[in-house]
């Protein structure tokens, strides 16, 4: 019963009740929504990150991260190469014949380096195709993880760049210059990783295990190595495979003159480094790198990428660009140069293309 003198309006009572119900609804709806949300899967906020920091979205690859892993893989493989050589447990054997009929050597260093490099790259980038010189035995799988750290020099020079994972092919050479490795000619030995995007080499890593020197470069990105500035196009120093020196020398001297210097050397990685400004006491210097026979793509892809990043060239002997898709071999020989007139060099050496098919 209302106090005396006060009449309760039916309309006022209705408004009061509705306000009360509104307050109760507001309180309980928020509480219930929170309770239900605890059982519902969460979704990222609009515009927020959908993957861990520093990682590319699913289906894509960050080339800066891939460069960092490639540098690490080359170094890890180099550790195995060095350990086996210094322990003198090579267990060298012939795995086949080259097209020239020479034995193609295989050592424990090749196999252990390959295992370490392959599984490190595969665990970091499982969606990327990896081509390696040596067979990967799945029964001998090794767990090698990457901690997602990127070296400071790469952070400073390279910006993140995402590309579709299906466009990427990685080429591994776990031990370049195996023949020289068995002969204990350590200066020629390298481990290499190359990344090609749509068949074009864009990342190259060349590591020298016995001096711990690593050269890396990314096309349209940056590098930790430079081209040399002093060249003589009239009488160039030409670096070639040890087994091809006599074959190239005759044609080269006829083309450039008797003062042309022929440098026999082992390993495609070493020969590319000879064209660059490398602070290595056991590294020779050359102006042009020529190979006159069939060569595998894992031997040359990393060097090709480094030269491209620095404005140089590596082509077949007829000047065609080398595609790093499809088969693992390059039939047309190669000529590599930097800061020189590459087209003019090719025009001066027409006879070497014929030699490459013999």
Q: Which residues are catalytic?
A: 110, 178
The tokens describing 82, both together, are 């060095």
153 is in an annotated binding site: no
Distance of CA 221 to the CA centre of its chain: 13
* 323-328: long-range contacts, CB 8 A cutoff, minimum separation 24: 323/199, 323/200, 324/169, 324/171, 324/194, 324/196, 324/199, 324/200, 324/201, 324/297, 325/169, 325/196, 325/198, 325/199, 327/297, 328/131, 328/296, 328/297, 328/298
Query: Which tokens go with 286?
Result: 């050359």
Q: Is 299 annotated as a binding residue?
A: yes
Is residue 103 annotated as involved in ligand binding?
Answer: no
- C-alpha–C-alpha distance, residues 178 and 211, integer Å: 17
Contact 248, 237 (CB under 8 A): no
Three-state secondary-structure class, residue 201: strand
Which of 217, 196, 218 has its CA nearest to residue 323? 196
DSSP letter, residue 113: H
147 is in an annotated binding site: no
184 is in an annotated binding site: no
Binding annotation for Mg(2+): 133, 173, 175-176, 299
Binding annotation: 133, 173, 175-176, 299
């Amino acid at each position: 019963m209302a106090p005396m003198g006060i009449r309760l309006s039916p309309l006022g009572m209705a408004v009061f009740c509705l306000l009360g119900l509104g307050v109760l609804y507001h309180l309980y709806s928020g509480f219930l929504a929170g309770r239900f949300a605890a059982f519902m899967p969460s979704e990222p906020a609009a515009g927020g990150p959908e993957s861990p920091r520093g990682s590319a979205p699913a289906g894509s690859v960050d080339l800066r991260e891939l460069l960092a892993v490639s540098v690490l893989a080359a170094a890890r493989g180099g550790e195995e190469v060095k350990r086996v050589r210094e322990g003198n447990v090579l267990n060298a054997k012939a795995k086949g014949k080259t097209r020239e009929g020479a034995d193609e050597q295989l050592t424990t260093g090749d196999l252990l380096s390959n295992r370490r490099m392959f599984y490190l790259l595969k665990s970091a980038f499982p969606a990327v195709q990896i081509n390696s010189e040596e067979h990967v035995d799945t029964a001998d799988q090794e767990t090698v993880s990457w901690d997602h750290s990127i070296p400071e020099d790469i952070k400073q020079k390279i910006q993140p760049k995402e590309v579709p994972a299906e466009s990427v092919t990685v080429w591994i050479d776990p031990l370049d210059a195996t023949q020289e490795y068995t002969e204990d000619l350590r200066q020629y030995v390298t481990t290499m990783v190359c990344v090609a995007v749509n068949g074009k080499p864009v990342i190259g890593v060349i590591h020298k295990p016995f001096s711990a020197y690593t050269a890396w470069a990314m096309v349209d990105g940056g590098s930790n190595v430079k081209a040399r500035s002093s060249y003589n196009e009239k009488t160039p120093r030409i670096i070639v495979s040890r087994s091809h020196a006599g074959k190239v020398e005759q044609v080269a001297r006829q083309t450039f003159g008797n003062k042309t210097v022929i440098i026999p050397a082992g390993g495609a990685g070493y020969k590319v480094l000879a064209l660059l400004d490398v602070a290595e006491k056991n590294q020779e210097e050359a102006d042009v790198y020529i190979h006159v026979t069939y060569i595998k793509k894992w031997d040359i892809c990393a060097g090709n990428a480094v030269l491209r990043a620095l404005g140089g060239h590596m082509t077949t002997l007829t000047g065609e660009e080398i595609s790093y898709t499809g088969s693992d071999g390059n039939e047309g020989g190669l000529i590599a140069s930097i800061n020189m007139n590459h087209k003019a060099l090719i025009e001066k050496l027409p006879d070497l293309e014929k030699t490459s098919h013999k």
